[in-house]
């Protein structure tokens, strides 16, 4: 018998409802921007504006004249930042959307089509804006990111100093743990100033240095060729300049924190005692009191979180966790939650999405550090690392740290480490419960062995 042809389903005549009638779409470019508004607002609903500041103000004036209240644009490089800030300052609601989420339908692609497509999607409420913290936190984030770039540049010049020393066969990095420490910089500055006598250079040893003066003297016997000393001097000068600029960044960061705390009352509870020593490359001012006032909690009590880590997390995520309804939304934004792909009722993949989120990178670094501690989080990391590998253990531990960060800021929950023994006891109870359930499913009962174990010789 011939197969029956399936009857086509009637298409729904219901159209998309307009959510934002006063919406505009903006296609961002390096030399000009294309803006599209509803066709009934102007005789020329699609216009092009140059990226000069005066043209951007003309763009805002035209949008106000045609009654636009909200604008959607793609996050294209850094070209979106000036127009975003100007439109936001003029009172528009600006949505910065991910270009992957607004990919146009197949066919001809032009700037005009992109702007009209953005306007249409935004008009029907099909776009979600990317996260952007409030104004003060945006300033804090900009200073912190700039500081990180300066720290990276300083690290490259430390490598150049070490290379110049190795070319002179000066084994300074083998006898001191850090060539930019007190002993190392004293010796390097003396070498640059023309002092190449090993005995005189070894006399700059700090009393806290583990290597003896005799060992340092042997390591400083080298071939001090002029071209290598010249390269060492330049690397040292660049390093000193960058350290000065990092100090200027710290002044600005401290001022922004003070500005953010001006309207906040001081917490009634005293600041808890410091839990660990200050690490390298941290700001030169005390950030814990300012963060305690800003957040209302001392997040450095969470293992893996130092003051600088908390400061950078606040710069990337803000101080208001109400942007995310639950901690699951927060971890999904960080790309630390499983990205399930299901088709036909089958789970095809549950890998986490690849992301360049700076906050997620900070949490992963904290997860690696907390894995070395004798804490419940450290025991969790080590158990997962032995079972499924270190990479997945880092992701899982970073997710736990993200949940603790979210709940501490959103609900004011205080973190108390239960300890390794408590975690191991709970894990043992969970394993026994699962064994009893599986034995009961197969018709058996699990009985504890109370007899003492006897060794076999």
| Least confident interval from 32-46, 52-66, 169-183, 345-359 | 345-359
In whole angstroms, give the CA distance from residue 263 to residue 260.
7
**What is the four-CA torsion angle of 53, 58, 62, 64, rounded to 10 degrees?**
70
Domain spans of the chain, in order of start:
23-123, 137-259, 266-411
Look-up of token digits 């720290």: 151
DSSP characters over 62-98: HHHHTT--EEEEE--TTTHHHHHHHHHHTT-EEEEE-
pTM listed for this prediction: 0.84
Residues 6+ apart with CB under 8 A from 406: 321, 324, 327, 330, 331
In whole angstroms, give the CA distance from residue 337 to residue 405.
15
The CATH number of domain 23-123 is 3.30.420.10: yes
DSSP characters over 368-434: HHHTTSSSHHHHHHHHHHHHH-HHHHHHHHHHHHHHHHHHHHHH-PPP----HHHHHHHHHHHHHHH
Average pLDDT over residues 41-50: 93
- pLDDT digit string, tens, across residues 90-138: 999 999 998 777 776 566 678 888 899 999 999 999 888 888 999 999 9
| Least confident interval from 111-120, 339-348, 398-407 | 339-348
Nearest to 291 by CA among 260, 251, 252, 327: 260
In whole angstroms, give the CA distance from residue 112 to residue 100.
18
Question: Contact, 330 vs 406, CB < 8 A?
Answer: yes
For residue 110, what are its two tokens?
A: 């032009």
Q: What are the CA-CA distances from residue 306 to residues 268, 280, 291 (Å)? A: 22, 11, 11
φ and ψ at residue 26, rounded to 5 degrees? -130, 120
Query: In a 3-state reduction of DSSP, which class is residue 327?
Result: helix
422 pLDDT above the threshold of 80: no
313 pLDDT above the threshold of 70: yes
What b/e readout covers 161-182, taking b as 16+ CB neighbours within 10 angstroms?
Answer: bbebbebbebbbbebbeebbee
278 pLDDT above the threshold of 90: no
Sort residue 302 into left (φ over 0), alpha (ψ -120 to 50) or beta: beta
In whole angstroms, give the CA distance from residue 436 to residue 157.
60
Q: Exposed, middle or buried, 205 (CB in 10 Å: 0-12/13-18/19+)?
A: buried
Confidence of residue 141 (pLDDT cuts 50, 70, 90): very high
Confidence of residue 9 (pLDDT cuts 50, 70, 90): low
């Amino acid at each position: 018998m011939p197969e029956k042809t399936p009857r086509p389903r009637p298409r729904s005549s219901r159209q998309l409802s307009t959510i934002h009638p006063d919406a505009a779409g903006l296609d961002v470019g390096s030399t000009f921007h294309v803006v599209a508004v509803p066709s009934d607002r102007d005789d020329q609903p699609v216009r092009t504006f140059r990226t000069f500041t005066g043209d951007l103000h003309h763009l805002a004036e035209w949008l106000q004249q045609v009654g636009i209240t909200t604008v959607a644009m793609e996050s294209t490089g850094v070209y979106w930042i000036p127009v975003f800030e100007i439109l936001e300052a003029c009172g528009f609601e600006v949505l910065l959307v991910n270009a992957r989420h607004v990919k146009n339908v197949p066919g001809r692609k032009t700037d005009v089509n992109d702007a009209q497509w953005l306007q249409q999607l935004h008009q029907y409420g099909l776009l979600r804006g990317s996260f952007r913290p409030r104004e003060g936190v945006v300033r804090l984030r900009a200073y912190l990111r700039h500081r990180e770039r300066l720290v990276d540049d300083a690290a490259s010049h430390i490598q150049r100093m070490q290379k110049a020393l190795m070319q002179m066969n000066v084994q300074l990095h083998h006898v001191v743990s850090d060539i930019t420490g007190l002993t190392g910089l004293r010796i390097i500055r003396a070498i640059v100033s023309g002092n190449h006598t090993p005995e005189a250079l070894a006399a700059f040893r700090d009393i806290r240095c583990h290597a003896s003066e005799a060992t340092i003297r042997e390591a400083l016997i080298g071939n001090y060729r002029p071209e290598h000393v010249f390269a060492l001097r330049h690397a040292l000068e660049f390093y000193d300049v960058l350290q000065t600029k990092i100090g200027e960044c710290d002044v600005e960061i401290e001022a922004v924190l003070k500005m953010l705390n001006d309207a906040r009352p001081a917490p009634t509870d005293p600041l808890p005692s410091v839990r660990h020593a200050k690490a390298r490359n941290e700001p030169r001012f005390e950030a814990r009191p300012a963060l305690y006032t800003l957040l209302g909690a001392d997040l450095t009590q969470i293992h893996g979180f130092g003051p600088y880590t908390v400061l950078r997390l606040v710069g990337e995520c803000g101080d208001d966790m109400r942007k995310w309804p639950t901690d699951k939304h927060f971890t999904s934004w960080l790309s630390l939650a499983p990205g399930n792909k299901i088709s036909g009722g089958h789970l095809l993949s549950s890998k986490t999405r690849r992301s360049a989120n700076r906050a997620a990178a900070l949490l992963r670094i904290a997860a690696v550090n907390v894995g070395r501690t004798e804490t419940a989080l450290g025991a969790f990391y080590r158990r997962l690392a032995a079972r499924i590998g270190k990479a997945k253990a880092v992701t899982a531990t970073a997710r736990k740290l993200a949940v603790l960060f979210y709940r501490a800021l959103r609900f004011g929950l205080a973190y108390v480490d239960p300890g390794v023994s408590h975690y191991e006891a709970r894990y043992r109870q969970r394993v026994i419960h699962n064994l009893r359930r599986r034995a009961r499913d197969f018709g058996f009962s699990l009985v504890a062995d109370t007899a003492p174990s006897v060794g076999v010789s």
